[in-house]
Structure 1
Amino acid sequence: MTDTASHRPPAAAVALAGALQELARADRLLLALDFDGTLAPFVDVPRGARALPESKAALDRLEHLPRTWVAYVSGRPLTSLETVTEADEDALLVGSHGVEIRFGRDGVSLDLTDDEQATLERLGGVLQELVDSIPGAKLEIKPVGFGVHYRQVDPAEGRTVVARAREAAAGVSDALTIRDGKDIIEFSVRGANKGDGVERLREYTKATAVLFAGDDVTDEDGFAVLRPERGDVGIKVGAGETAAQYRVADERAIATLLGLLAQAREAHVNSSTD
């Protein structure tokens, strides 16, 4: 694994630049990107998050090129993801860690069983009671579950919040899907992950190469389904163990890389049509 953070040897940056140049020549290219912490800095009010202008500009260039698709793959509910990405009707979106998928204008419905709905209602009740008892904690309602946010809780109390949330959820059901993220723990009555979403997008676009970038532990499922031997590229944003081939420091580094990729893809498309 290479690392393009500023304190690493220049050879790492050269290797990633070379990988992007190769990716730009793919016959059918899919960019599947996490949003928060990858394209957009974290904010205290989730609905206020927006991609950095440089990233948005590069993605706009890329999605207008032939045989090139841009998709957002997030733990956010689909409705929230639509808002923060400012997606149009044709956008490819994967929300709720792969549970919700929107292929352009056609969404994916969620038909919960009676048992799932009953579990969801009980789960919401116990978790709401929990966050009400913890100053700074917030409950996020998701299509098939809930997220307990503790970003604004005293850092020393973070582990306690997670432990109490797990205990409360276990009292509702032992069959929940549980995910730990950055200052959030999520509980779902239906299982799926970002890797499932990336594979669905690959199948839909018939992509010959995929770029997936993400910053969180939940993005490791996305890195796990990549096929480097076929030209796929995985980029981890920030610190932490990862299966991605490459690493960058932050959202601004991703913005720079997307600009380079857009330039290289445009050059490839133009040379192919000459």
Structure 2
Amino acid sequence: MVAEHGARFKYPDQPWTNEVMMPNDWKEPIQQIMQVYVRRCAHSFIEEKEFSIVWHYRNASLEQGKLRAAELLGELNDYAYKRHLQVSMGNKIVEVKTNGADKGIAIKKILNNNDFDFILAVGDDYTDEDMFKALLEVKNSYTIKVGNEASYARYNLFTPQMVISLLENMNYINEKPVPQENLWVSK
């Protein structure tokens, strides 16, 4: 399994390992900057993860959220410059994370150590684009973007319910279950 945008790996029968080693002293200043925008944008909030901090505005007024997100993005980009941090805008979020960890790097690492007959990668977020790009030329890989946005994925399914339907139908086709140790899941 892969988590935190490729920063953490869990191999079968092994404990979680961190693939990115970086001090977290950058988090407090980023959180202070984001806190100003929580106060300026009603119903927004901050989520702290191990390798990133995310400002969410999905519960805020769309117009106010977009305006504050653009302001925050500019301020965070100024701060992150030369600090080995990556600032990204996603679906009603602004995220700051450490450089050197993304889903594309994680996929490449997995592919270097394994040979797969079938790869299915499904995602609905901007962070999944690194994974889709990494799989563009990989034989027997199928990439699906959930939603109708432009993507590096080869296919689109428009709703999570369509993904569930696809997986249920694939289950009927599969004659024998795939052993858990042969599955890789990215969050």
User: The TM-score by the shorter chain falls in which range?
Assistant: 0.7 to 0.9
The structure-2 alpha-carbon separation of the partners of 1:258 and 1:211, relative to structure 1 and needing over 3 Å to count, comes to same
Mark the CA change 1:213 to 1:204 in structure 2 (over 3 Å): closer, same or farther: same
Structure 2 unaligned runs (5+)?
179-187
1:207-237 CA-to-partner distances (Å, cap 9, x unmatched) read 2331101112221111111155611111111
Q: Which residue of 2 aligns with 1:256?
A: 165
Q: Equivalences for 1:50-89 in 2 at 5 Å?
A: none
The SS at the match of 2:25 is: helix
Distance 2:45 2:53 in 1: 10
Conservation of the 8 A alpha-carbon contact between 1:144 and 1:190: no
In the alignment, is the contact (CA less than 8 A) between 2:44 and 2:60 conserved in 1? yes
Aligned length: 174
Q: 1:112 matched to which residue of 2?
A: 22
The answer to whether the aligner puts 1:219 opposite 2:128 as a matched pair is yes
Out of 100, 107, 122, the position equivalent to 2:8 is: 100
Greater helix fraction, Structure 1 or Structure 2: 1
CA change 1:209–1:97 in 2 (3 A) is same
In structure 1, the partner of 2:86 is 177
**Distance change in 2, residues 1:146/1:108 (3 Å):** same
Please, which moves more after superposition, 174-183 or 100-109?
Answer: 100-109
CA distance in 1, matches of 2:177, 2:96: 44
Q: Who wins on radius of gyration, i.e. which is larger?
A: 1
Question: Runs in 1 of length 4+ with deviation above 4 angstroms?
Answer: none
* 1:180 positional shift: 1.8
1:192-215: CA deviation from partner (whole Å, max 9, x where unpaired): 211122223334543233110111
Relative to structure 1, the CA distance from residue 107 to residue 267 in structure 2 (aligned partners, 3 Å threshold; closer, same or farther) is closer
Unmatched runs of 5 consecutive residues or more in structure 1: 1-91, 270-274
Relative contact order higher in (CA < 8 Å, ≥ 6 apart) = 1
- In the alignment, the residues of structure 1 paired with residue 124 and residue 104 of structure 2 have an alpha-carbon distance, to the nearest angstrom, of 14
Query: So what's the TM-score if we normalise by structure 1?
Result: 0.57
Match of 1:167 among 74, 82, 101: 74
Per the alignment, residue 29 of structure 2 pairs with 122
2:133 aligned with 1:133: no
CA drift at 1:172: 3.2
Structure-2 separation of matches of 1:125 and 1:163: 17
Residue type at the aligned position of 1:142: K
